[in-house]
Amino acid sequence: MNFTKIERSAWPREEYFNHYFSQVPCTYSGTFKLDITRLRQSGQKLYPAMLYDLSTVVNRHQEFRMALNEAGEPGYYDVVHPCYTIFHKETETFSNLWTAYTPDYAAFCAAYEQDMANYGNNPGMMARPDTPANTFPVSMIPWASFEGFNLNLQNGCDYLPPIFTMGRFYEENGRVLLPLAVQVHHAVCDGFHLCRLVNELQELLNG
């Protein structure tokens, strides 16, 4: 895990970062309908496949690997990993797990299955210990679809990584659609960057 501090004097985004981080702190969210028809037809497991695709697109772009170091200075990790929720039916609670990202799809899915076997039954919020700093959160609420979703974070304006929430997929006009909400920090991510991420994610899902 390597963290590269931004050279602020040469950063094209410096003015925008100052505006949306300090002057007018601003996070925002968007909700999108992903076409997962091909994924469902392939027989692949939905959750690990989506975790892999999200991680692949997130790791392509510096703006989605941004964070603050201990001194509060912005920078970016060379790689980030998904930290995702799993549900415990018995207690109606959830836990967080994380799986190290690798560009090898089969290796990632195998690591996911191993992490589920090792930690999936552990109670508490952090089922797998030692969550690294270079993670981004993903959750899924498969009990209902939604057309809008946002998080209200009291201290969210210090949090730079993207936050992903998936809902229940459904069929419409012969296609299988999955709602995806993405919350980002405007200091590091504009609408252009968010739309590029979603469009590239859909390209991956199209195969």
Please list the active-site residues: 186
SS3 string of 85-148?
EEEECCCCEEEEEECCCCCCHHHHHHHHHHHHHHHCCCCCCECCCCCCCCEEEEEECCCCCCCC
Find the largest Cα–Cα distance for the chain: 53
Distance of alpha carbon 80 from the chain centroid:
10
CB 41 within 8 A of CB 200: no
Which residues, in sequence order, are CB contacts of 121 under 8 Å at separation 6+?
A: none
